[in-house]
Amino acid sequence: MKLAGQLRLIVAALTVWTATACVARAEEANDYPTSARAEYVYGCMKANGESRQSIEQCSCSIDVVASIVSYERYVTAETALSMSQVRGNLGVQFRTSEQANTAVNDLRRAQAEAEVRCF
């Protein structure tokens, strides 16, 4: 069990490091990499139907989110949402972190704005 916990910490650290590297490579401060945009649209389409209309709406949605939330903040929120589902102490740290909760709330507000504008 102790090894599994250490591996989770290493994976979490690598995820954050990779996301930080993507931010450094972005041409502009608020530019989302294509892969991040594609993942968002794919997940959005799964939730909203896999139609031509959902492609348009989901593409609009990520554009709105990107205009409101910096990519670095987006990565923080996505990481917090993902890691908060982990059981045990590591998950608790992400569920109770003020920084993580603030980033998640920022993302949710941006998604609500995208819902109004695009759907």
List the chain domain ranges: 2-118
The pLDDT, as a whole number, for residue 11 is 47
Residue 50 token pair: 């896999």
Handedness of CA 23, 45, 14, 69 (dihedral sign): positive
Maximum C-alpha span of the chain: 47
Share of the chain above pLDDT 70, in %: 75
Return d(Cα 89, Cα 105) in angstroms, integer. Answer: 22
Mean pLDDT confidence for 18-43:
74
Do the Cβ atoms of 97 and 80 come closer than 8 Å?
A: yes
pLDDT digits (tens, 9 = 90+) for 36-88: 999 999 999 999 999 999 999 999 999 999 999 999 999 999 999 999 999 98
Q: What percent of the chain has pLDDT over 90?
A: 64
The DSSP 8-state label assigned to residue 32 in this structure reads P
Q: Indicate the angle between helix axes 2-25 and 71-83, nearest 10 degrees.
A: 160
* Range of weakest confidence among 11-25, 59-73, 89-103: 11-25
pLDDT at 117 over 90: yes
Which of 83, 1, 53, 41 lies closest to 33, judged by CA? 41
Model confidence, pTM: 0.72
d(CA 14, CA 93): 17
